[in-house]
Amino acid sequence: MKKLRVLLVDDEIMIREGFKRLFDWEGHECEVVGEASDGMEALARIDTFCPDIVTMDINIPIMNGLKVIQLSRIKHPGIAFVIVPGYDDFSYCQQALRLQITDYILKPVDYEEFGICIDNLKILLYEKRVSEEGKAGVKNERVITGITRYMQEHLAEEVSLSVLAEEFHLNPQYISQLFKNEIGVGFLSYLTNIRMEKAKKLLVSTQLSMVEIAEQTGYGDYRVFTKVFKKTEGITPSQYRREFLEER
């Protein structure tokens, strides 16, 4: 998988420097190709570098970040934007969601959380590619596509490299490398992501208990499920369900 190109947009140079120095871009198969300190500069840099990802503060000079995203969507619809604001503002969150941002991470940035965000983004890009191949009628399905489909369909069961190796008659190490090469994330990162995505859907669309949701997403112990959910989403499953209901 080719490295993802990243543009950093923030009017504070220390924030940009922190992103460049403190986050392991190489380890996440990414490279910072440019940076910008105001809205107009950001638009120009986006046209110049055509990045895959843009980290964007909202309150930047000349033109705010949300306007930059809105205008960029016209020419570059495939760019993934990660909003990195200095404070939590619900109205900004609403606008950002309407612009279909990839994620929203408050300063000071938790780089472990940001790493999870980047991995989730890679999975989204992979799923988009698979969807486009399906619409285009690509006949020769790749091995990784069959493996990830199997994982989605058997999520409540045991899903491990050994199980996949037996199912697809492949070496476990080969399958592990496939995830890194084809999607850009490890097997466990991908498995956790699809489990959490299913859990979030069940939390907001059903009245299932936490134990039942844990079982349907492949966790035999609901306490382990709760711990993983909080680590990846920042809140417990119960809080996630409650906040969703309160917003309706």
Q: Is 210 helix (H, G, I), strand (E, B) or coil?
A: helix
Ranges assigned E (strand) in the chain = 4-9, 30-36, 53-56, 80-83, 103-104
Of 198, 231, 230, nearest to 215 by C-alpha is: 198
pLDDT of 139 reads: 62
- pTM beyond cutoff 0.85: no
In CATH terms, the fold of domain 141-248 is Arc Repressor Mutant, subunit A (1.10.10)
CATH 3.40.50.2300 location in the chain: 4-120
Alpha-carbon dihedral angle through residues 133, 135, 141, 145, given to the nearest 10 degrees: 70
Tell me the two tokens of residue 94: 């609403």
Has domain 4-120 been given CATH number 3.60.15.10? no
CATH 1.10.10.60 location in the chain: 141-248
Q: What is the mean pLDDT of each run of 10 residues along the chain (248 residues)?
A: 90 93 92 96 96 92 91 89 75 55 79 89 86 72 91 94 96 95 93 95 94 95 94 90 76
Amino acid sitting at position 58: I
